[in-house]
Amino acid sequence: MKKYFLLTLFLIVQFFIAGAKPATQKVELVLRWKHQFQFAGYYAALEKGYYSELGIDVEIIEGTPDASVLDMVSSGKAIFGVGNVEVLASYLRGEPLVLLASIMQHSPSVLIVKESSNIYNPHDLVDKNVMLQSDERGYELLSMLYNEGVKPWQLNIVTHTHSINEFLANEVDAISAYITSEPYFLETYGIPYRLIKPSSYGIDFYSDCLFTNRWLVKQNPELVDDFVSASLKGWEYALNNKEEMVALIVKKYSTAKTYNQLLYEANEIHKLINPELVAIGHTNQGRWFSMANFLYQQGLTEVPESMDNFFYHKEPNSNIRWDWIVIFITSFLLIALLGILFYVRVGRAVTRKTKEMSILLTKLEEQNKRIGQINTQLLSAREIAEENLRDKSTFFAGLTSELKNPVKGMVHAANELTKPDIGGAEKEQLIWEIRNLGDTLDHFSKDITSIFILDPSAERISYCKTEPNVLIKNFADKYTKQHSLGKEQIKLNLLSPLVSQKVLIDKEKVLRSLDILLSNALKHTPGVKAQIGWSNDQPEMLTFWLNDNGAGLSLEQLAQLNQFFSDPLRSFSKGAGYGLTLVKALVHLMKGTVWVTYEQSVGTTFFFRIPFIPIDTLLYLDSMKVFDKDHLQRIGYNRLRGKTILIYEAHLNNYILTRSMLEGTGCTLIQASNMEKVLSVSLGFNGISMVLVSVSVLSNIDISTIQKVRNTNVDMPIIANVTYHVDERKKYQLAGFTDVIQRPTSRGQLIFNLLEFIG
């Protein structure tokens, strides 16, 4: 009997040992990209046996551009996956996904632009070629654009090739990348660059988050717990042993990156995970709620009634072990021992459930708090919307008032003309008044168009050759005569003629803006003294300003106006009125900025800053020998005198060389350092005689721009000044060029070549 009892006891003990040490379970982990240090924690957990110690056999699957990690996990084809904000977006659309751990506390996603570009912020990306993911994989960068008031359709989005070649070849102006990867290449080869980070514009999302499907959480929470625990342990090891893990990746996982490149990536990833301040894998639910709320506000996702199912918490296991019941019945002699074991097991379950209930209550409190915050935000948004509506109503009331006076004046003059006793001189005066009022209404309609235009590119900038000193002086003289002002009422602050220069700007919009600002100053304080000036305090930017010594503005008015001027989404403000609203619209069309200051001893000063295009006017000397010895007999070189040549040259030194070679011919040169300026000048300035485009390789030139320039003026010569392959003339002509000339060349040969195309 004792023998059978011991045998039974042995079998039951073996049963419990087997239950305590489960059979190995096969799982798959799908990465979001190719093998690199970005996933080092999982390699460490696999290689160091952290998974196998818990009975988990893990297969790590490399990500590809074509395979969707989300689809594989939500459909059950894979158990675990690594993803970014797209995991949240998919959950909000109803996919059964569950977040397990947030590995990177800050995202590595950035936009890279070249340091030589004129792109400094998201607004500068408008009309630029930008390579990024336009689907949910690019939500973080798209969120940055939305947050800054830039819509994706305002960019020329190029499908991402997952290569930096197009960026290096200037085929795209900006490219989405990881701060942990692409900058290493640019720094290694000495290519200057600039980063546009979402975090600089209020977008700070989690990245590389571990997730699974809801089915696994319900069916096997112990497996989920064990996998997360081993993975976080692996990440801790990887961050503390970077060199070892880099060597492992090079040897076993990836040959696409070098040792130094992976080590660079490891150090950058360490900063993003930030284990010294935040526990690895830590998740702040409030940040996820904020992310969901932002995506919803931008129309990128829908928000469900609750996000509680998105965050991992174990469900009670409902599987019944019938073999235990059989053993309990057949092992009557061990009922006491099994009772104790059962009691301990139930006690643990109760403790675990109590802890889970406590966590759930904490989550509920946090969610209620978040709901309260959202309600507060909604009330605030409603108040802002109502205020905008009131501002719009105030604006239209002022608009109606502005319109009444010229209309009444025209009706009155027309009625006077119908009287039979109107004399010749009086009749001419009335006709002049009607014409003048008609011009006022015409300006008024253009002003309204400027204010309400939605797309700045729809109204082209009308470039005009201007010298700022002359522009401001003529404006002040004309305004003084028209309004019968005193001689000392308008003072000018002009730069030295040696500093001043001829530039290309939209002269009419600048004059209209100055007219409004000066009229506002005189209207509010008759007899006020005003001062007008300009400066060239930034490269390729002109700043115009108007100061008056009137009553001035309060701090509240200053703050309200500057907030209105700086907000690209606000068209109206009750504090601005018709005139300042129009100034903002005009300057915005010129791609500029407006602001206002007030100092008690100085007065109120309005500023607006706009970009300009520099012009070089070369002195013409009849006695100058312009040809070298091989071309002394050529005649007609003076035909370049008075011509305007638009030169595209990205490198300033090369442009200076060309300018020196053409000095003495009497022509005017307009420099364009990028193809965008070539197009804008061609569209807005009618005085161009020729376009000279510097080309090293034809593939580096934006052919579509050349063709647009060609379409605007079919007869204007567009000459390719090429370094190589001059014999491929047909290729250049098919691309839109008139012809090809060789560089480098002699001064005489260059002038002779240009004379062949100048009419």
pLDDT of residue 17: 46
55 shares a domain with 171: no
Residues 70, 76: Cα–Cα separation, whole Å: 10
662 shares a domain with 717: yes
Residues 327, 19: Cα–Cα separation, whole Å: 13
Structure tokens at 64: 């590809």
| 500 located within any domain | yes
The mean predicted confidence, pLDDT, of the chain is 81
Mean pLDDT of the 417-443 span: 73
Structure tokens at 731: 């290729």
| 576 located within any domain | yes
Residues 606, 564: Cα–Cα separation, whole Å: 14
pLDDT of residue 269: 95
Residues 38, 500: Cα–Cα separation, whole Å: 54
152 shares a domain with 284: no
Q: Hunting for tokens 């798959």 — which residue is that?
A: 28
| 665 located within any domain | yes
Phi-psi sector, 531: left (phi>0), alpha (psi -120 to 50), beta: beta
Residue 198 has pLDDT above 60, yes or no: yes
Residue 329 has pLDDT above 60, yes or no: no
Beta strands (DSSP E) in 197-291 are 207-213
Count of domains for the chain: 5
Residue 397 has pLDDT above 80, yes or no: no
Chain-centre distance for alpha carbon 445: 33
Of 695, 696, 640, the closest CA to residue 669 belongs to 640
| 521 located within any domain | yes
Give the sign of the dihedral formed by CA 736, CA 741, CA 742, CA 744.
negative
Residue 323 has pLDDT above 50, yes or no: no
| 430 located within any domain | no
pLDDT of residue 651: 84
Last residue of a domain, one of 586, 611, 636: 611
Residue 16 has pLDDT above 70, yes or no: no
688 shares a domain with 650: yes
pLDDT of residue 382: 63
Residue 149 has pLDDT above 90, yes or no: no
Q: Hunting for tokens 């002022």 — which residue is that?
A: 398
CATH code where residue 677 lies: 3.40.50.2300
Contact (CB, 8 A) for 300 and 86: no
pLDDT of residue 178: 92
Which tops the pLDDT comparison, 597 or 540? 597
Beta strands (DSSP E) in 654-723 are 668-672, 690-695, 718-722
List the single range of 130-134, 374-378, 673-677 with lowest mean pLDDT: 374-378
Q: Which stretch of DSSP H or E encloses residue 500?
A: none
Residues 374, 371: Cα–Cα separation, whole Å: 5
749 shares a domain with 655: yes
Last residue of a domain, one of 284, 310, 336: 310
| 290 located within any domain | yes
Per-residue pLDDT of 29-66, as tens digits, reads 999 888 999 999 999 999 999 999 999 999 999 988 77
Burial 519-534 (b: 16+ CB within 10 A, else e): ebbbeebeebbbbbbb
Chain-centre distance for alpha carbon 285: 27
Residue 498 belongs to domain spanning? 458-611
Last residue of a domain, one of 391, 414, 430: 391
Of 646, 658, 636, the closest CA to residue 759 belongs to 636
Residues in the chain: 759
pLDDT of residue 404: 67
What confidence category does residue 495 fall into, taking pLDDT thresholds of 50, 70 and 90?
confident
pLDDT of residue 476: 93
Residues 436, 445: Cα–Cα separation, whole Å: 14
Structure tokens at 388: 């905008």
| 168 located within any domain | yes
pLDDT of residue 459: 55
pTM of the predicted model as reported, rounded to 2 decimal places = 0.45
- Tell me phi and psi for residue 504, to 5 degrees: -105, 115
Q: What is the dihedral of CA 491, 495, 497, 501, to 10 degrees?
A: -120
Looking at mean pLDDT, say which of 223-227, 355-359, 421-425, 453-457 comes out highest: 223-227
List the single range of 43-57, 90-104, 445-459, 697-711 with lowest mean pLDDT: 445-459
Per-residue pLDDT of 553-589, as tens digits, reads 778 888 888 888 888 767 666 667 778 888 998 898 8
pLDDT of residue 319: 46
Residue 259 has pLDDT above 50, yes or no: yes
- Tell me phi and psi for residue 616, to 5 degrees: -110, 120
167 CB burial (10 A radius; 0-12, 13-18, 19+): buried
Residue 9 has pLDDT above 70, yes or no: no
Contact (CB, 8 A) for 69 and 82: yes
Which tops the pLDDT comparison, 602 or 26? 26
pLDDT of residue 529: 87
Phi-psi sector, 540: left (phi>0), alpha (psi -120 to 50), beta: left
Residues 40, 231: Cα–Cα separation, whole Å: 10
Q: What percent of the chain has pLDDT over 90?
A: 31
241 shares a domain with 99: yes
Beta strands (DSSP E) in 124-202 are 129-131, 156-158, 174-178, 193-196
pLDDT of residue 224: 95
Of 103, 162, 98, 155, the closest CA to residue 128 belongs to 155
pLDDT of residue 539: 78
Mean pLDDT of the 463-488 span: 89
332 shares a domain with 305: no
Residue 431 has pLDDT above 90, yes or no: no
Of 262, 257, 265, 210, the closest CA to residue 234 belongs to 210
Compute CA distances 55 → 30, 31, 58, 76, 230, whole Å.
Answer: 19, 21, 10, 20, 11
pLDDT of residue 575: 65
Per-residue pLDDT of 201-215, as tens digits, reads 888 899 999 999 999
Residues 269, 44: Cα–Cα separation, whole Å: 15
Residues 358, 261: Cα–Cα separation, whole Å: 46
Helix (H, G, I), strand (E, B) or coil at 455: coil
**DSSP assignment string, 381-424:** HHHHHHHHHHHHHHHHHHHHHHHHHHHHHHHHHHHHHTSTT--H
194 shares a domain with 247: no
DSSP 702: -
Of 347, 316, 298, the closest CA to residue 136 belongs to 298
Per-residue pLDDT of 240-249, as tens digits, reads 999 999 999 9
Residue 267 has pLDDT above 90, yes or no: yes
Q: What percent of the chain has pLDDT over 70?
A: 80
Of 383, 360, 627, 610, the closest CA to residue 509 belongs to 610
188 shares a domain with 214: no
Strand 25-30: give its sheet, edge to edge.
Answer: 56-61, 25-30, 80-83, 207-213, 97-104
Residues 607, 613: Cα–Cα separation, whole Å: 20
CATH code where residue 182 lies: 3.40.190.10
**With helix as H, strand as E and coil as C, how does 52-63 read?**
HHHCEEEEEECC
Which tops the pLDDT comparison, 523 or 283? 283
173 shares a domain with 73: no
Per-residue pLDDT of 111-141, as tens digits, reads 999 988 999 999 999 999 999 887 667 778 8
pLDDT of residue 498: 61
- List, as own/partner pairs, every contact residues 560-563 make where C-beta atoms lie below 8 angstroms and the sequence separation is at least 24, other chains included: 561/596, 562/595, 562/596
Residues 547, 282: Cα–Cα separation, whole Å: 55
pLDDT of residue 57: 95
Phi-psi sector, 563: left (phi>0), alpha (psi -120 to 50), beta: alpha
**DSSP assignment string, 580-622:** HHHHHHHHHHTT-EEEEEEETTTEEEEEEEEE-EEEEEPPB-T
CATH code where residue 546 lies: 3.30.565.10
Burial 289-305 (b: 16+ CB within 10 A, else e): bbbbbbbeeeebbeeee
DSSP 252: I
220 shares a domain with 91: yes
| 51 located within any domain | yes
Residue 19 has pLDDT above 70, yes or no: no
Per-residue pLDDT of 609-658, as tens digits, reads 999 988 888 877 654 454 454 544 454 567 888 899 999 998 887 888 88
Q: Regarding beta strands 207-213 and 97-104, do their DSSP bridges make them parallel or antiparallel, or are they unpaired?
A: antiparallel
pLDDT of residue 60: 94
Structure tokens at 741: 């000339």
pLDDT of residue 572: 67
Per-residue pLDDT of 712-758, as tens digits, reads 888 899 999 987 667 788 888 888 899 999 887 888 888 888 888 88
Fill in the amino acid letter for 548. D
559 shares a domain with 537: yes
Helix (H, G, I), strand (E, B) or coil at 758: coil
Phi-psi sector, 458: left (phi>0), alpha (psi -120 to 50), beta: alpha
